[in-house]
Each structure stands twice: as structure tokens, then as C-alpha cells.
Amino acid sequence: MTGFDGRVAVVTGGAQGLGAQVARELAAGGAAVAVLDLDEQRTKPVVDEIESAGGRAIGLGADVSVTEQVDAAIAAVADAFGRVDVLVNNAGITRDNLLFKMTDEDWDLVMQVHLRGTFAMTRAAQRLMVDQRYGRIVNLSSTAALGNRGQANYSAAKAGLQGFTKTAAIELGPFGVTVNCVAPGYIDTEMTRAVAERMGVPVEQRMEEYAARLPTRRVGRPEDIANAVLFLAHERSSYVTGQVLYVDGGRWLV
């Protein structure tokens, strides 16, 4: 999608999977992109790919759950590119387990990254967006927000992101800042492949079984999510805010 010329985007969890795809497509659309991940070195392949294609990008390392690191990262983006127009809160982790086996640490780590991280990044970025009277914030939730066995922590965090999205949309709307949410279903990424391996199920078998239950008869690809994110991140989506867009192949229709 074109139309991001002159815009500056920040993508958290941008070193791989959905974040990397979103970063690449924002750059292809004309945006300068800050690829943020826990370890700056891990962002290098994505940054190099964007630059090799003629785009502009920088890599940043930050723990999104640590306020000081988040504030420093947003300041670095502003120093490098002069502004922040788009924030994609994609950083996330899983610590799956059945409720009776889940530890306090399993719960806290997931909450810190998904909820505190999204809060900290949004709070830092909105200061610039409010001043410039323009911004697009897109948070990554999940169909797990509707409930998923073995993911009490992840499901609660992703449901919380939807409430956060709606509240932030109310508060920031008067300043030209929209806040929306994309909720992916089963997407073929490094993370979902790792989950299948931990379960001892062949990856292709798991994807085939899941796809058979969907109207689309296929699992999602990273570009499916990136397309939805770019729509909500676009200048022309100014009348869309506080929404949750499920991109799940029609999972809940059957």
C-alpha cells in the first residue's frame, strides 16, 4: 500500500514474524521505519532488507515494559526522523500453560510485555502525535482474547489490549490520533511454529488441521495481517478509531 511518503513509523517486535512484515510493507509504502526489538542486533536483517530495497530504516533495542528504555527509543526516532506518525504495538511473548500449572512469573511476564509495553509505547508516542495533531496507533490483539485453552495469561492480555485501544481512541481522537486494534487468528509465523514444536505436533499437520475448520480453508500469512495494519495506519483511515478488526479466516463463523 502506498501513501506513507513523509511518514515515520515505529514497529515493536519488528525483528521477525508479523512485526517484520509490517515494517517491510510500511517502508515499501514510503514510510521511514524504526524497527524495535528487545535486542537491537536482531533488527539488523530487517533494516538491511528495507535499505537494500531503497527505503529508510533504523534498528532500536528496548524492553517495551521498561519506561526509561521506551522513552529513550521514541526520542531516538524523533532525533533520527523528526517525528512519529505511526506506532504499531506488536511486541509479544507467550508463556502457555493450563491454569493450575501457570506460575506467577508466566502471568506477570505476559502482562508486562503486552499490556505495560503497549501502554508505555503509546504514552511516549502520543506526546509527539498530540503536538503534531496527527497519529495512527495500531495494537495487535488476537482471537485468543475470546478465550483459548492453555492461554489464560495471553488471552487476558489480548482482551485487555482491546479495552485499552477503545479508551485511548476516546482520549486521543480530538487531537487527530486514531487508535485501532488488529486481532489475528492462526498465522504461520516463527512463534506459531515454535508452539507446534513444543506440543510435539508436526507444523504442517497442525496448520492443515486448523485450516480445515476455517471457511477460507487456509491459515493466515504475515502479509494478511500487514494489510490490515496498513489500512488502519493510513492517512485515509481518519474516520476509523476504537475498532477491533479480526483477521482470522472466518474462524468464528463456523
Q: Which domain holds residue 237?
A: 8-185+222-246
pLDDT given at position 75: 98
154 is catalytic: yes
pLDDT given at position 252: 83
Report the alpha-carbon distance of residue 96 to residue 89 in Å, rounded: 21
Q: What are the tens digits of pLDDT across the range 22-36?
A: 999 999 999 999 999
Residue 254 has pLDDT above 80, yes or no: no
For residue 253, is it within any domain? Answer: no
Query: Are residues 239 and 135 part of one domain?
Result: yes
Q: What are the tens digits of pLDDT across the range 159-190?
A: 999 999 999 999 999 999 999 999 999 998 87
Q: Around Cβ 126, how many Cβ atoms within 10 Å?
A: 21
Report the alpha-carbon distance of residue 188 to residue 207 in Å, rounded: 8
Query: Are residues 235 and 116 part of one domain?
Result: yes
Catalytic residue among 134, 154, 186, 210: 154
- Please name the helix (run of DSSP H) or strand (run of DSSP E) that holds residue 59, with its range, or none: strand 56-61
For residue 241, is it within any domain? Answer: yes
Query: Are residues 147 and 177 part of one domain?
Result: yes
- Please name the helix (run of DSSP H) or strand (run of DSSP E) that holds residue 32, with its range, or none: strand 32-37
Amino acid sitting at position 140: L
User: Cell 532488507 sits at which residue?
Assistant: 49
Q: What are the tens digits of pLDDT across the range 92-127?
A: 999 999 999 999 999 999 999 999 999 999 999 999
Which CATH number does the domain housing residue 233 bear? 3.40.50.720
Query: Are residues 194 and 160 part of one domain?
Result: no
Report the alpha-carbon distance of residue 85 to residue 93 in Å, rounded: 25
Ramachandran region of residue 5, left (φ > 0), alpha (ψ -120 to 50) or beta?
A: beta
